[in-house]
Structure 1
Amino acid sequence: MSLVVRKSSPVVVRPSPEAGMTSGGTIKLSSFDKGLYNMPSTTLLVFEHPLHNAAEIIQGALSRALAHYYPIAGRIVVAGGGGGGGGDDDFYIECNDQGVDFIAARTDHALKEVICFDRSPSPGARKLLDHLAVYYPSMTCGSGDPLLLMQVTEFSCGGFVLGVTWNHGVADGAGMGQFLQAVGELARGSPSPSVAPVRWDGSLPSLPPSVLEAQQHLLSLDPLGDDLAILDITIPMESIDRVRADFSSSFGQPCTTFEAALAVLWRCRTRAIKPGPETLTLLVFLADMRKHAGAKEGYYGNCIVEQLVMAKCGAVADGDFKGAVMAIRRAKDQLPDRLKDGDGVVGQQKLREIRAYDTLIVTSWRNLGFDRVDFGSGRPARVTASGKDLPPSPGAVGFLRDGSGGVSVLADLVRQEHAEAFLAELAKFK
C-alpha cells in the first residue's frame, strides 16, 4: 500500500503571550540531562475518535502550553561552543522563545487501513508510520534545532495521529508525557495545566561517575543498523499472568507486569541467539528515579538511570522465568544505590568485555502518561514508538500496554538471522 501524506510547510509555534508567563535566562542541564543533550526520541499517539480541526486545536493549545513550559521553546547551547562535554556547566537550555516546529498533515486513507489495533502491524505497515512524524536530520539534535517537532496527521475517517519528536535533553519520557497531558488539558478548555511544571530542581543529586561512565559506554556501542530486525510483537496478558502467579506462589512476593514481560523477552532472546553458556549477557533497563532522587512534583527534566543486570547466558537460557524475574527484582531493589558513589553494579572492565550483541536495553513506556493524553475526543487507542530512533545497541525495546489485552513491544532485539527463532521461542511460551 502506498500512503500519501500531504504535509503543510513547518510552522514555528511560540509561547502564547496571552498566558502572561515570563521566560528568559538559561537553565543548566543536570547530570541526568547532559549525556542526552543531542539524542532524539519519537512517539506516535493514535486517536481513533474524530476531533474536528484537530491540527488547529492542538496547535493553539501547544502555544498556550509553551507559555508554561517555555524552556521547550528554547535551544540547547554549549558554553564556549565546544560541545565536548567539559563539566556540568557546559550545557544549558537558553530560554529564548524561538519556538518549536509544527506540521499539519492529511491523508485520504482511513486510520485502520494503516494502523492495526488488534494485532501487530506488518513490516510494510510499520514503515508507513515513518510518514506520521518529523525527524531531525541525521537523527541527531543540533545546537540550533528546535527542542520539539510535532506533526498532526488527520485521516479520512476523522481519526488522527500525533507524532512527537523531541530532544531528550529537555525532557525524559515521563516529562514529555506530562507536557502532552498539559497540551490536552488546554485544548479541552482548562485555563492552566493541572500540574505546575518544574524544569530546574537544584536539590537533585549529581549522578556518580560509575553511572555516567556506564551511560556513555551504552551510548557509544557500535550500531548494527540494518542487521537488526524490527519486530512489533504482543505478549498476551494470559502469559504474563502465568509468570506472575508462578513467581508469587514460589517466593511469596508480587511480580509486576514489567518484570514478567522483561524476563520473557530476555530468556526467549537468549535462547534464540544461542550464545555459549559461559558468555556474559547484559540486561539494561531504564528506571525513573524521581522518587529516589526526591525530585519536586511537576519536574519534567530527565531523571532516569540505566540499571544493569549481568548473568551467564546458560543460566538465562536454561533457567526458568522465576530466576530471571528474581535477578530483575534484585536490580530494582538496588536502584537507590545508583545515586551513591561506588564502583557501580557492573565494573567498567566487565562492561567492555560484553559484546554489543549480548546487550539488551529495555525501556518501559507503560507509566509515562502518553496513554492519558486527551485533546477532546478521548485518549489514544494506541501509543507506539518509532522504529527509526531505537538506540544503537541491539535489543533496544519499547514497552507499551496494548488495549487488546497484552504488552506491546517494538524491538530490534535480534539480527535478521535470529528473528524466526526468537518468534518461535515466544510462540512456545504462549
Structure 2
Amino acid sequence: MSVVTKSSPVLVCPSSEPAGSGKGNGSHINLSSVDNCYASLPVTSLLVFDQPISDPVETIKRALAQALLHYRPMAGRIAEDRRITCTGEGVSFVGASASCALPELVPTSTVPIDDLALQYPAPMCRRGDPLLLMQVTEFSGGGFTVAVTWNHAVADGKGMAQFLQAIGELARGMPAPSVLPVRSPEKAGPLPVVPAPTVAMQRVILRFATRGKAALDVTVPWSLIRRVKADCGGCTVFEAVAAVLWRCRTRAVISDPEAAAPLSFPCNLRGPMGTQDGYYGNCFAVQLVHATAGSVANGDIRDLVNLIRRAKETVLSNGNGSNGDRKRGTCPRLYNVLAVGSWRNLGFDAADFGHGTPSRVVCHMERVAGPCCIACPPCKGKDGVDVMSLCVRPEHVDAFLAELASM
C-alpha cells in the first residue's frame, strides 16, 4: 500500500499571470533537429534531499512560478506545426507527503517511482500535455524529494539541471537566476544538425520502444574505476565506467563473438560548438562506436577505453556532430547496442532549494529505444559510481550482475 499522499495537480504559471490564463507572451520557439529527434520522449529526474527546508512544497511552488517568468517556454505547449508556443498555460505541479522517513530510493524500494514523481498519462508525451511535470514530496522526520518529468523536446539533461538550479536560487531569495536562459535556436549560436532521415528514424524507434528491460540500481566500485584508470595510464571516470559496463553486458547477453556489439553515448556540444551560455534546448550528439562481441568481451580493457576516447575526440568530425563512428552496411540488432550516458556533470547535483544540494539524483526512463545505463551524480553513502540500468532483459540479470561482481 502506498505511503505517499498526493494533492490534486495544479497548473503553476509564470508568477505575473493568473493560473491557467494561457496568456504567455505569444511567442513561438522553433525546434532544432536534435529537439525533433526526442520530441514526445518523457524523462524523469528525482532529486533526494536529506536535509529539510521550511514548507518545501509551497517554497518550491512559489520559486517555480518565478522561474517560469525567465523560462516561458517551459510553461508552453507543443503546437501542431511542431513549435513550442509560449502560451503560459503552466507546469503541472503536485505536492505530496510521505508517512515514512526518507528511504534509500532504489528501484526495488517500497516507495515506487510513480509515487514520488508525476507521470504523463500516455507512454509518450502528447500534443497539449504540459512540457513539465513536477512533484515535491515531504517525508516524515525531515527530508524531501523533487521530481521533474519533462518532454525531451523542451530541454536536454543539461538544460533541465540549469532550470532546477534557477528554481533553487529563487527559492533561496535571489532576485533572478544567475544564468541568463536562452531557448531560441536562432539566438543560441552553433547547434548540432541532424539530417532529416535520421530524425525520422529516431522518432520511429522511440515510438516502438518498450519497457522490456529490467530496472537495476548498480554500483561500479571506486576500487575498480581506479584500477581501470591505472591500467589505461589515466582516463576519465566516464570512460572507465562505460568500458566496464560495455564489457560486462556483452559477456552476459551476446554469445556469438562475431556479432556486432556497439556502444553509443551522448556528448554535450555546447562548449565544442561555441553555443551561447545559458542555452537549455537539446545540444548533444550521439556517438556510435563499433566493435565485435569477441573484442569487447575478451580484449584488453585499454582498447575499449581508447575506442571511447577516440569517439569523444572526433565528435565534431562527422556531420557537425550528428554522427558517431559509423560503418556502412552494418545494422546491429537493437538489443546488441548498449547506450551509456552520464548525468554526473550536468548540474542536477548543484540544485539547492535552501539547505544544501541533493544526497542523491536518480534518473528514471519509462521508455527506452534500446539497452541503456545512466551514471548518476555522486550518491551519499555509495562507494562508487551509482548507475541506473535498463540494459538487460530479466533473463540476463543474473549473468550481468555476476560479470560486474567478477570484475
TM-score by length of 2: 0.92
C-alpha separation in 1, matches of 2:342 and 2:256:
29
2:227 is matched with which residue: 242, 256, 265? 242
1:168 is matched with which residue: 146, 152, 177? 152
1:224–1:201: structure 2 CA closer, same or farther, 3 Å change rule?
closer
Counterpart residue identity of residue 311, structure 2: A
Counterpart residue identity of residue 100, structure 2: H
1:215–1:330: structure 2 CA closer, same or farther, 3 Å change rule?
farther
Counterpart residue identity of residue 165, structure 1: T
Match of 1:284 in 2: 264
Q: Which secondary structure does the structure 2 equivalent of 1:43 belong to?
A: strand
C-alpha separation in 2, matches of 1:56 and 1:348:
55
Matches within 5 A, 1:154-303: 154-202=138-186, 203-205=189-191, 207-209=193-195, 212=198, 216=202, 219-220=205-206, 222-223=208-209, 225-226=211-212, 228-248=213-233, 254-303=234-283
Match of 2:368 in 1: 391
Q: Is the CA contact (8 Å cut-off) linking 1:214 and 1:348 kept in structure 2?
A: no
Match of 1:366 in 2: 344
Matches within 5 A, 1:11-410: 11-17=10-16, 23-79=25-81, 91-112=82-103, 115=104, 121=106, 124-125=108-109, 128-202=112-186, 203-205=189-191, 207-209=193-195, 212=198, 216=202, 219-220=205-206, 222-223=208-209, 225-226=211-212, 228-248=213-233, 254-340=234-320, 345-347=325-327, 349-350=329-330, 353-386=331-364, 388-403=365-380, 404-410=382-388
Alpha-carbon shift at residue 417 of structure 1 (Å): 1.5
Q: Which secondary structure does the structure 1 equivalent of 2:391 belong to?
A: strand
1:215–1:346: structure 2 CA closer, same or farther, 3 Å change rule?
farther
What's the RMSD between the two structures over aligned residues?
Answer: 2.2
Q: Which secondary structure does the structure 1 equivalent of 2:140 belong to?
A: coil
Q: Which secondary structure does the structure 1 equivalent of 2:112 belong to?
A: helix
Q: Is the CA contact (8 Å cut-off) linking 1:211 and 1:344 kept in structure 2?
A: no
1:125–1:134: structure 2 CA closer, same or farther, 3 Å change rule?
same
C-alpha separation in 1, matches of 2:322 and 2:69:
41
Deviations 1:211-261 (A, max 9, x none): 9359618834854533x221100111121011011101xxxxx30000000
Alpha-carbon shift at residue 400 of structure 1 (Å): 3.4
Q: In structure 2, list runs of 5 or more residues that go unmatched.
A: 18-23
Aligned residues: 398
216-225 or 92-101, which moves further after superposition? Answer: 216-225
Alpha-carbon shift at residue 422 of structure 1 (Å): 1.0
Counterpart residue identity of residue 410, structure 1: M
1:199–1:221: structure 2 CA closer, same or farther, 3 Å change rule?
closer
Q: Which secondary structure does the structure 2 equivalent of 1:106 belong to?
A: strand
C-alpha separation in 2, matches of 1:73 and 1:395:
30
Alpha-carbon shift at residue 205 of structure 1 (Å): 4.1
Higher helix share: 1
Q: Is the CA contact (8 Å cut-off) linking 1:184 and 1:373 kept in structure 2?
A: yes
1:180–1:50: structure 2 CA closer, same or farther, 3 Å change rule?
same
Percentage of pairs with the same residue: 47
Q: Is the CA contact (8 Å cut-off) linking 2:6 and 2:94 kept in structure 1?
A: yes
Deviations 1:271-290 (A, max 9, x none): 11132111011211011111
Matches within 5 A, 1:3-14: 3-14=2-13
Match of 1:88 in 2: none
1:34–1:312: structure 2 CA closer, same or farther, 3 Å change rule?
same
1:162–1:188: structure 2 CA closer, same or farther, 3 Å change rule?
same
Alpha-carbon shift at residue 305 of structure 1 (Å): 1.4
C-alpha separation in 2, matches of 1:375 and 1:395:
30
Alpha-carbon shift at residue 156 of structure 1 (Å): 0.3
Q: Is the CA contact (8 Å cut-off) linking 1:49 and 1:377 kept in structure 2?
A: yes
Q: Is the CA contact (8 Å cut-off) linking 1:223 and 1:394 kept in structure 2?
A: no
C-alpha separation in 2, matches of 1:107 and 1:224:
30
Q: Is the CA contact (8 Å cut-off) linking 1:366 and 1:401 kept in structure 2?
A: yes
Q: Which secondary structure does the structure 2 equivalent of 1:12 belong to?
A: strand
1:28–1:285: structure 2 CA closer, same or farther, 3 Å change rule?
same
Deviations 1:281-335 (A, max 9, x none): 1211011111122210111111011110010100000012111101101110110
C-alpha separation in 2, matches of 1:331 and 1:275:
26
Alpha-carbon shift at residue 139 of structure 1 (Å): 2.1
